[in-house]
Structure 1
């Protein structure tokens, strides 16, 4: 009898491991699709003369991100700190290549070590991709790639370890379910540092007037946003770190409701402010709602997720206006979407999240913000001094595609 019970228990355990691991692998694929979404949004919202440059960056960003996270960042971020909660007492660098890939002690054995690495690696690359769109159309390609290597390899995992690696912020009670701060705000702070160092595009601000620079493809940007929404179901759904049906279902419902509410918030606010039906604000409203609910998708109710998403949709409009008033040129609205709404979503956990206090959320926003912004500022500053960060005026005016790539993103050939 005891042998039968032990065998049945082992079979159930293996079945749960398989179910959890399969769900996590599905979520890896969904998060990977987000890189295609980012590529579409950035290429669609920027000028046609820079399309190849944008796509080149969005192709190399996940490649560099995954490699640097594998050999440097993953060990800094997981499995935690050597001597308890801390700031810099890391377990090591990169992957540890365990003999048994099923051994994930710090995740309660819910999935394999290799699955965990790949899921977290996709998150890491996302943080750098956020920066790409904001600094587009005037940054040197190699300068951006060097930034990506350092930011994903060192800055992102160190900050992430303070919560997800069991570090000091985790001990303070800070809650960030899937990364409103640890992924999106960290990337947003990096984007803000980049546009400060680079300055605005030529002709973007003339006196007090903001000059519109039309994107190359509204349909492409729209497809990109829907791909991001689709991928976000894995981004948040996978962050349950199991296939638990109740927890996963709640997170997916909250994620979709917040995105929908963000779209409505962006639509209404855009119409009231600009007196027109602004598709760009609706699209960024969707992304704003997704970013906003990411921190607390596991601890808020569906009704609260609607409110969080709707407020994010309003905030993204006013944030975009505020950045233009400060002459901070963000080509795709990345700072407004990921930083502004990442902060809001993190603080919202302390307002709406069951059993979550407000002050730890404030501490997390301030500490992670200071670390990410100052690190990015220093990295961009030294890249600028060593190699030069901004392209020449001639290249910027004529487009980066022809000068840096010798190709055009949109070509019509008449025979």
Structure 2
């Protein structure tokens, strides 16, 4: 092997290792989704939360491998191993692994909104549809093989393509707005609203909720920084912007949420969701402001959703991922401008159009999917099963089995 070939091989190997480490970090975030949900739901639904996240991950893995990744990027792995490996040490394979972790976030996000009263298998099926078909279709229009037409339209109108570096809109906004139809069609949990009055249902475990938030926050640096795709494009700006947006979210939530631990730990996630889109072009202080604003959006958005609109979105995934993900897309168009210390190359009009297109796509897709499932197999547990809890009715075991030993 000559020096040029050896250098090329080392570069390919470095890129594979770089992206694989990012994939593992984002994969670990799914444990964060699980513990965040387990800490928020009641004890009788904790096992179900754990099993849902792992099952959704597994179904998403197969669906995205066979259907989703080829739709998004035009690369199929249904061919012999030498062809799969290609000449780049199997970079496409690890790229699939990394982007699978994004796709699998969609059912994980939805899971938190529909917790405690959704049927298990219909939701697993819906998650497979979203991860294998719906999400990859939108992904292909923004990041993938079919982006030229839609991005060209945004550029012709706004002067720049829609910019979403790490998925504020493509991942989080899509996930949160897909969840809204599911939550609405399911209806509130038994006892949540009675005779027009709100009766908040206490969460079960604040340490588990906090653990979920911490796992997600740590993994998020893989989510954002490794979105560079290869080693030579990695940016320290993305890392520091993610950090400052996260702490902006924490400080905003502790203020607006009056020290409530649920708001504080979700505030960190609000900041991280909001900064994804513009983390490569915004100034660190702007990222802090974006995270701070995101926390206020979540605290007040969650309160309005639950108490004014009476939408029983258990983990608040619509305001947290849907609305704040949309805010992140718009914020990139504001704080990415050179006048505010940003790198430029972004248009507020294009950001508004791209964000709006995601909302419309997700709402239409979500309503069609869940309406069909509700009409055919049903999406809600029977009243008695919901009362007993999904742990016993779906999985025949509780989170603390010794409590049932006589």
TM-score by length of 1: 0.89
Q: How many residues align?
A: 388
CA contact (8 A) 2:77 2:84 kept: no
1:243 and 2:212 are equivalent in the alignment: no
TM-score by length of 2: 0.91
Partner of 1:383: 373
CA contact (8 A) 1:130 1:187 kept: yes
- In structure 2, the CA distance between the partners of 1:161 and 1:98, relative to structure 1 (3 Å rule), is farther
1:302 and 2:297 are equivalent in the alignment: no
- In structure 2, the CA distance between the partners of 1:115 and 1:394, relative to structure 1 (3 Å rule), is same
> 1:20 offset after TM fit, Å?
1.9
CA contact (8 A) 1:74 1:94 kept: no
Moved more, 28-37 or 165-174: 165-174
1:265 and 2:252 are equivalent in the alignment: yes
Aligned ranges for residues 180-219 of structure 1 at < 5 Å? 180-219=168-207
Partner of 1:223: 211
Partner of 1:170: 151
* Separation in 2, partners of 1:102, 1:331: 43
1:369 and 2:390 are equivalent in the alignment: no
Partner of 2:19: 24
Partner of 2:45: 50
> 1:148 offset after TM fit, Å?
0.7
1:329 and 2:317 are equivalent in the alignment: no
* Separation in 1, partners of 2:354, 2:138: 10
Q: 1:403 aligns with which of 384, 393, 402?
A: 393
CA contact (8 A) 1:17 1:110 kept: yes
What secondary structure, in the 3-state scheme, does the structure 1 residue paired with 2:257 have?
A: helix
* Separation in 1, partners of 2:351, 2:133: 23
- In structure 2, the CA distance between the partners of 1:309 and 1:103, relative to structure 1 (3 Å rule), is farther
Over the aligned positions, Cα root-mean-square deviation in angstroms equals 1.9
* Separation in 2, partners of 1:75, 1:191: 25
Q: 2:118 aligns with which of 139, 150, 172?
A: 139
Q: 1:352 aligns with which of 319, 328, 335?
A: 335
4+ residue stretches of structure 1 with deviation over 6 A?
Answer: none
| Deviations 1:340-362 (CA, angstroms, capped at 9, x unpaired) | 11000000111011220011111
Q: 1:116 aligns with which of 95, 106, 114?
A: 95
In the alignment, structure 1 segments of 5+ residues that lack a partner are: 1-5, 80-90, 272-276
Partner of 2:108: 129
In the alignment, structure 2 segments of 5+ residues that lack a partner are: 155-160, 337-343
* Separation in 2, partners of 1:110, 1:344: 38
* Separation in 2, partners of 1:282, 1:373: 28
What secondary structure, in the 3-state scheme, does the structure 2 residue paired with 1:215 have?
A: coil
| Deviations 1:131-188 (CA, angstroms, capped at 9, x unpaired) | 0010011110011111111111110000111011141333321111111111111110
> 1:12 offset after TM fit, Å?
2.7
* Separation in 2, partners of 1:120, 1:139: 27
Partner of 2:127: 148
> 1:103 offset after TM fit, Å?
4.3
CA contact (8 A) 2:84 2:90 kept: no
CA contact (8 A) 1:69 1:94 kept: no
CA contact (8 A) 2:106 2:127 kept: no
* Separation in 2, partners of 1:240, 1:110: 18
Aligned ranges for residues 276-291 of structure 1 at < 5 Å? 277-291=259-273
